[in-house]
Amino acid sequence: MNLSLNSLCDDVPAGALQALTQHWLDLFRQAGRQVPRLRAVDPLRFAAALKDAWIVDAGEDGRFRFRLCGETLVEWYGFSPKGRSFEEVINPPSLATAVAQARDVMDRPLAIYQRMTAVIPDYSAPAGFGRVALPLAGDDGRIRHILGATSFDAPVLNGRGSIATRPELERRYDISALAGTASAA
């Protein structure tokens, strides 16, 4: 069941994730309750989230690539995912889920908030983190980008990513029910 987009900011915890989410919601309202365009994003409006922020593009080949990544994911993976496909970055056990979620965000369209736990190499305790994923349209109005942020509960700088992740909580917010959203790519 998808939730009302009106509850999104209430569900996302205060801090970096909420700053990015609030900016997206402001753009959504300014665009007449349409999925906002990539060029409308103003990073200064969510400065607290810049280290956690990322943008993913859907390529014409159907693959997802990181357009940009903040320091958090660079430290998490041990390299910059910028310009790389999901297949090059995300560990195989988590890849199918990541691709399916990205498709849902763009195709339905949805906003997603998650609380996750990651099992990571060389750590005895799993790492907890929150993540938001929000659709963005290109200049042609087609939804083909995702604005997101990943914020870890504590610094986890292993530089190798996770072995596997599991959701503790996933909330999906239906955007298409609110207005005539742009069609997905």
| pLDDT average per 10 residues of sequence, the chain (185 residues) | 82 89 96 96 94 96 95 88 95 88 95 84 71 96 96 69 71 76 40
The confidence score (pLDDT) of residue 114 equals 92
Nearest to 175 by CA among 10, 20, 28: 28
164 to each of 27, 51, 54, how far by Cα in Å?
34, 23, 20
Q: Give dist(CA 129, CA 48) in Å, integer.
A: 16
The confidence score (pLDDT) of residue 159 equals 56
Residues 6+ apart with CB under 8 A from 14: none
The confidence score (pLDDT) of residue 185 equals 37
The confidence score (pLDDT) of residue 161 equals 61
What class is the 3-174 domain? alpha beta
Reported pTM = 0.88
- Residue in the block written with tokens 């989410």: 21
Q: Give dist(CA 123, CA 87) in Å, integer.
A: 24
